[in-house]
Amino acid sequence: MGPYIIANVFILLGPTLFAASIYMTLSRLIRRVHGEHLSPIRVSRLTKTFVCYGHAMWGKVRVIVGLTIQLISFSLFWVTAIVFAKRLRRTPTPECLKPSIPWQRLLHMLYAVSALILYIPQWYYYNHGNVTAQNLNFCNVTVTYKHTGKNDTINVGALLPSDSWNERLQGIGGNGYVAGLTSTTAFGMIAAAAEGYVAISTDGGHTSDDPADWGLLQSGMPDHNTMYNFGIASLGDAAIIGKSLTESAYGSKPKYSFGPDARKATGADGIVDGIISDPDACVFDPFALVGAQINCSDTGPLLRISVATAKIVNATWTGARDSQGNFLCQLYNRWAQVFVEHNLNFTLRNITHQKYDHLFRKSVQQWNSVFGTNNPDLSKFRDAGGRMLTYHGLMDEVIPPNGTRSYYEAVTAGDSSVHEYYKLFEAPMMGHCFGTKGGYPSTMFESLVAWVESGNAPTSLPVKYSPEDGKTYDRMLCPPHRAKYKGTGDMTSDDAFYCAE
């Protein structure tokens, strides 16, 4: 019995010692760049803090709740590393600016190595379900390059599975003002590698999510080269580099390449279940509520809705308009400061309607050729055999879903065969990328793969909802139609629904 216990203790010690080496590397990196003051946890306590969570001598308790302990431990490690990296980017130390200390590359390596026992939730791996990445063996490559005659530096990262490549390449994108290669995209790259893909991502020439850090030259004028890299050039470069690395590693280019990747109306689908399936069926008139009393929990006493309040709500609900009443997309203050006015002190507060019109037109004139994504001509994509699936949450609070719908309708108007290569799924109850009530199509990517490689075009995507009643509802997303209740059957099952025109 004694030898058996000793043998198992050493087995359990392995993960702990492995984890300890990762934590020690992080603490040494922090010391090397003189960034102790930027770490959320004292460097002297880093290894002790993390290893305490995953201590092997927890014995039977570790066996029962080992995954939970592991997740807590590595989550704390990732939070510490990510917070430290963000602070160091905002207030760099002299040491971290030295080319001899590639601290960002080392951090990406630590992210990747720690993922040997990493559970990756679906919201870090867009268009997919949850992934458990373990026992990974891959090559982590970073390519840094410049364009001749340009004062730029762009990084492309790639993870190449050593013995489980599925002959596919997958690009992992960023969000907002960041092209990729962030702490968040590291999760997606690891998950893709765990599924056998060569995973690539590019930083587009910068790592900051604040365009004020990279969008303007010292003269105060816009940095057009950096903008071009971010909006256009870096994406094509990443694809070329990724395919070249793949051919060098495996002797052949990938067979397939996939790009990256948020009045009561319930009852519009034929059943009242708390799921707002068709927001367009909502007819909301705030002026009909003028004079009504409401109980506001924040202020206590009853409040009466005024005409002024109704005007504000109506303006918010209907969106920005130009002085002629035509709809405009909203302008963000940072965008106006950096890209339009080139003045970080500029503010959208208290500007006139005419000034807003001018800013919008100026923005389109200056940047549509770089950042515009509204060209409905997809003939080259179609003729090359491309396939595209798009989903958009109908409760997206950041990017209006009607914009995506309008684009799809514009493509359809120019090509009636659009459904043969491009499908749009509208997701009720889902917000920006995800939603607390459900509606996220986690099988979208595998459906795209099946369509590209086998010709099996998806007619619907399964989703789940959890509205206020506590039940779980299985439904489907139908391109470009909506799921309707058949009139009979279990309303929590998607068998009771069909895709209606």
Q: What percent of the chain stands above pLDDT 70?
A: 79
Asked if 461 contacts 147 with a C-beta cutoff of 8 angstroms, the reply is no
CA distances from 306 to 290, 309, 312 (A): 5, 5, 10
The length of the chain, given as a count of residues: 501
What pLDDT score does 490 carry?
80
- The set of residues, in sequence order, having a beta carbon less than 8 Å from that of 75 and lying 6+ positions away, is none
Question: What does DSSP assign to residue 36?
Answer: G
Cα distance between residue 435 and residue 233, in whole Å: 32
What pLDDT score does 447 carry?
92
Asked if 304 contacts 292 with a C-beta cutoff of 8 angstroms, the reply is yes
CA distances from 204 to 149, 250, 324 (A): 17, 26, 38
Domain residues of the chain, as ranges? 1-118, 138-258
> Sign of dihedral through CA atoms 111, 117, 123, 128?
positive
Class at the top of the CATH hierarchy for domain 138-258: alpha beta
Cα distance between residue 478 and residue 278, in whole Å: 12
- The set of residues, in sequence order, having a beta carbon less than 8 Å from that of 129 and lying 6+ positions away, is 122, 442, 443
What pLDDT score does 152 carry?
92
What pLDDT score does 141 carry?
94
Cα distance between residue 227 and residue 196, in whole Å: 33
Q: What HEC string does 264-295 produce?
A: CCCCCCCCCCCCCCCHHHCCCCHHHHCCCEEE
What pLDDT score does 251 carry?
95
What pLDDT score does 228 carry?
93
The residues of the chain scoring below 50 in pLDDT are 1-17, 48-67, 262-274
Q: Are strands 422-427 and 388-393 parallel, antiparallel or unpaired?
A: parallel
